[in-house]
């Protein structure tokens, strides 16, 4: 049978709504690294031991509690779920599922590398592409085994993040190497200069020299939680919990209560640890927080998913949900557009707001960017069936 893309009528509307919602969380989280040199300051004593003040303290706490580490798990979960739905449909059509899926990943990897090298060091697409190959190992497995592997990957991630971040923080706090401190501070100042006022060539040179090597060295470290979340989404797909949600309402109700209680509670503790509201030394509190969020983030994410499923399973989509769904139908395009907008807003090649925007102001900018994307996506999809990058992606995948 000739393979063909999924049609509009075959789409699961709740998936698109969730993707749209995820994009709001992604821009709220990512804009923090566009406005300041988070990659350079994350291991400094000042960043570990100090917290924002005033309105920024409230904004930072809310972000840590409800956003940071909750929306990349949502995108990852949806990727794994989407993988199963796509792969299952291709197999039912007797199409070469594995071949088509590998094509899909190769496109994502190439796009991710271009995004990483030429635009922003926070790209997640290339990592998703690498992690996506691991899902092929679980095709045909029993759902419970997929769930066990998911829990295992996520649990190991929590331990690794706690151990290695705590160890790194301990070295920074107690090694007391003036040369290392001086070099780090100089790098932070260079980042402010290059990103705030530098040319594109200077910016690219800085990132190739000082950022991309760090990203590349941490790929294995980042893969563990992403694979675990992919498998969690795959498990939900295998059980039919989302695309046959009306048959599984008791599951979603129980999941909502449990994940909201534990995810919300643990995420609150995470926010307290990161913002200095604990009696623990800053170096250990930071490590504990990052390890804890490997568990708390996915749990709270599941409460978001279950709330959307319960709300939309038997309702006609209203105006807000339709707008979210349209943004979600263009998730890949909108993700890249978010980078392009922030690139010109914050870097010296554009408005140069780098280092000049507070946390609360950046949150307002993020919401405004998302609202513009809602409007543009709605207008675009009146005339086209899919976003421009989605169209290219599907053409690449289904080419003969």
Token digits for 321?
């949900």
pLDDT digits (tens, 9 = 90+) for 209-232: 999 999 998 888 899 999 999 999
pLDDT of 45 reads: 56
State the residue for tokens 């705030």.
196
Q: What is the pLDDT of residue 46?
A: 56
Residues in the chain: 400
- The helix or strand, by DSSP H or E, that contains position 294, with its residue range, turns out to be helix 282-312
Supply 383's token pair.
């005339």
- Give the single-character DSSP code of 279: S
Tell me, what's the pLDDT at 7? Answer: 47
pTM, full prediction: 0.93
Span 56-84, pLDDT tens digits: 999 999 999 999 999 999 999 999 999 99
Rounded CA gap, 272 and 12, in Å? Answer: 37
User: Which residue in 276, 370, 283 sits closest to 71, CA to CA?
Assistant: 370
365-385 burial, b for 16+ CB within 10 Å, e for fewer? Answer: bbeebbeebbebbeebbeeee
- Residue 141 DSSP class: -
Residue with tokens 């904004």: 59
* Residue 167: both structure tokens together: 């160890």
């Amino acid at each position: 049978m000739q393979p063909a893309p999924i049609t509009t009528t075959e789409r699961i509307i709740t998936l698109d709504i969730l993707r749209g919602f995820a994009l709001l969380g992604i821009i709220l989280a990512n804009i923090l690294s566009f406005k300041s040199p988070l990659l350079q300051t994350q291991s400094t004593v000042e960043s570990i031991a100090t917290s924002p003040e005033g309105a920024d303290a409230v904004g930072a706490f809310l972000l840590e509690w409800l956003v940071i580490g909750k929306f990349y798990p949502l995108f990852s979960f949806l990727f794994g779920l989407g993988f199963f739905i796509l792969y299952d449909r291709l197999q039912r059509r007797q199409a070469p599922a594995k071949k088509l899926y590998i094509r899909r990943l190769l496109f994502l990897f190439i796009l991710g590398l271009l995004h990483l090298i030429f635009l922003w060091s926070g790209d997640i697409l290339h990592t998703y592409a690498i992690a996506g190959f691991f899902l092929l190992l679980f095709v045909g497995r029993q759902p419970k085994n997929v769930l066990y592997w998911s829990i295992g990957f996520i649990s190991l991630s929590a331990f690794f993040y706690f151990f290695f971040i705590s160890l790194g923080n301990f070295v920074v706090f107690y090694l007391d190497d003036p040369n290392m401190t001086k070099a780090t501070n100089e790098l932070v100042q260079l980042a402010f200069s290059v990103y705030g006022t530098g040319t594109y060539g200077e910016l690219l040179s800085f990132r190739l020299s000082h950022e991309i090597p760090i990203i590349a060295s941490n790929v294995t470290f980042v893969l563990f939680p992403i694979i675990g979340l992919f498998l969690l989404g795959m498990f939900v797909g295998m059980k039919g919990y989302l695309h046959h949600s009306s048959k599984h309402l008791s599951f979603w109700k129980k999941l909502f209560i449990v994940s909201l209680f534990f995810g919300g509670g643990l995420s609150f503790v995470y926010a307290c640890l990161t913002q200095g509201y604990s009696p623990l030394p800053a170096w250990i509190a930071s490590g504990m927080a990052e390890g804890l969020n490997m568990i708390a983030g996915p749990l709270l994410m599941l409460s978001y998913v279950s709330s959307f499923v319960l709300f939309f399973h038997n309702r006609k989509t209203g105006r807000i949900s339709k707008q979210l769904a349209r943004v979600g139908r263009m998730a890949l395009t909108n993700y890249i557009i978010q980078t392009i907008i922030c690139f010109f807003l914050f870097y010296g090649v554009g408005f140069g707001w780098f280092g000049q925007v507070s946390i609360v102001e950046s949150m307002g900018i993020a919401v405004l960017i998302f609202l513009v994307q809602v409007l543009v996506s709605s207008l675009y999809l009146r005339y086209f069936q899919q976003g421009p990058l989605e169209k290219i992606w599907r053409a690449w995948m289904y080419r003969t």
